[in-house]
Amino acid sequence: MKKGALLSHLLFLLVLIPTLLKAKESSSPSCPPPKLLNIGMGVYDIIHHPNNLLLQLEYRSFLQKFPLARPLIGVMGTDKATVYFYGGMAFDIFLGNKCALTPSFAPGLYLKGFGKNLWFPLEFRSSLELSYIFSNQGRLGVQFYHISNASLGRRNPGAEALVCFYSIPFF
């Protein structure tokens, strides 16, 4: 793994772990969190080839004992027929009653299609999103993530994405 990628993953964990330990004390909404269906559109491989369209669909549930933890499953596809199927965990950190900061981690299966070769079918997505929470518990936000094979493949070029999304709540 490259030094920069290792440092970014370590920084992500250093921010995530203390945040999760204090999450219970945060000012989360009093009602149980809704399940969410995220629909997103953005740019894939934004740093190297910022002309790749990305569409994303993601389902987020919640855990009864840990309502800030959200298991997730999803699929991302690009206009170059790249597809990424993934499943993982997201953690809501509420910044007041109307804003959430949500880091997540999700391993998945990457199929390159005609897009970027990430050199291994198993890829790992680390993301951070910021969203506004509407009164109906729907969310509008922006998400940035990095996909990498953690040096399991011959090469580890990685890719970044920037996604705007809307989350449809259902209880």
Give the tens place of pLDDT for each residue, 121-156.
999 999 999 999 999 999 999 999 999 999 999 999
At residue 92, the pLDDT reads: 95
Give the tens place of pLDDT for each residue, 5-39.
555 555 555 555 555 545 444 444 566 789 999 99
Give the tens place of pLDDT for each residue, 47-56.
999 999 999 9
Residue 61: closest CA among 69, 53, 50: 69
Of the candidate CATH numbers 2.40.160.20, 2.30.30.30, 3.40.640.10, 3.40.50.720, the domain formed by 3-25+34-170 belongs to: 2.40.160.20
Domain ranges in the chain? 3-25+34-170
At residue 63, the pLDDT reads: 87
Give the tens place of pLDDT for each residue, 54-79.
999 999 998 888 878 999 999 999 99
Contact 36, 45 (CB under 8 A): no
- The pTM for the full model equals 0.82
At residue 25, the pLDDT reads: 43
